[in-house]
Structure 1
Amino acid sequence: MGIATDEARQTSVFIAGGGPVGLAMSLLLDRFGIDCVVVEKSPTTTDHPKSRGCWVRTMEIFRQWGIEQAIRDRGLQDNSDMFVFLDSIAGHEFGRTRPEPNVGHTPAWKSLVAQDAVEEEILRVVEKSRHATVLFNTACESFEETNSGVNVTTRCEKTGEVTQWTATYLIAADGAGSQTRRSAGIEMVGPSTLAVMSNEYWRADLSRL
């Protein structure tokens, strides 16, 4: 059993989940001077380079927030958005797709940057903010709605310590399989599984290719 704190901590907005959505929300709230707390059960931001690519509208928003260039610098070079079809990684090439042309419709063109880099760059800003706090190794265990807002219970993944929070709003940013959303009785619309995908992450020197 964890050790419960004596007093409930307070915040205006409690955000369950410290992925790209939760971190981006905390950055935005800080820009408006609204205090918030983000809890993420993982010990750090994601260490897997999944979801590679921020499209134009996302990069336009990052531009407004002053982090566009830092995120763009973490991505692949321009014109990397193609698929290449081969019989092996160094073998015969059957063909490749063409990169999408940039015809100048926006000053903030898309970037092939992965989620781990995006999270790290947003966190760099949030860690220096005045109104946002991010707590890793912290899981949102449960919550209950009140007349004035919501009471939230969290547990530290390292120590088992239980903390009570009071907030005006609770945001469920804990992924597609959000436990917070399910606990709130918010149903998803449509099929539960659209696709099954597998990511393989490895490093190699491919310069000779």
Structure 2
Amino acid sequence: MTTVRWTRVAFVAAGLTFLLFPLLRPWPDETVATAELATAFASDRWVVAHLCGILGLALLAPAFLGLRTVLVQAGVGAATWALVTAWTGAGLAALYFGAEIFGIRTIAEAALRDGDLGLLADIEVLRMQPWAVALFAAGLFLIAVSGVLVAVALWRAGGRLRWAGIPLAIGLVLVLPQFFGGPELRITHGFLFAAGCVLVAAVTPSRTARA
């Protein structure tokens, strides 16, 4: 029962913390270098929002670990690889989140301190650094793979679990593409991600049997 409880808690925490990412994140106009943009990037909200985002992804690993323990009773092995890909993907994505959190904030603080908004041009250079982009894309691709593997594992488990993994899989597959959308799309995705996590938490039983 303890394993089931912390598994459910981990899923709910992952969903809610990731949802806080777009809800708390400042959404200034990033097409023009302005004092408002620099202030948003230098704000505590910028830091807290991004920390919530990476924490939401990181919490997938303990959630999947607990789910794997439950599914082992049904002889379902796909959740093992879901755990591996989620853990690796979150680790790779965290490297890019670190640059977003602290690198961009440092540039914005320098722009405000020196009164030189031209420094904000370096933010795009930081974001598009080839190695950083490659690691971020690889990490979020692995997160997407983990979502599909969990959906497969839950489908094989049968019962109430059969359909529960589909919303979560869709949410995880869309983590990367949603970064190209605007605030409304990203907040909607945050709710989808959270709903998928909460649904899996709600239907995770203490025991499961193959249908």
The structure that is strand-richer by fraction is 1
TM-score tier (shorter) = under 0.3
Structure number with greater Rg is 1
Larger RCO (alpha carbons 8 Å, 6+ apart): 1
* TM-score, normalised by the number of residues in structure 1: 0.25
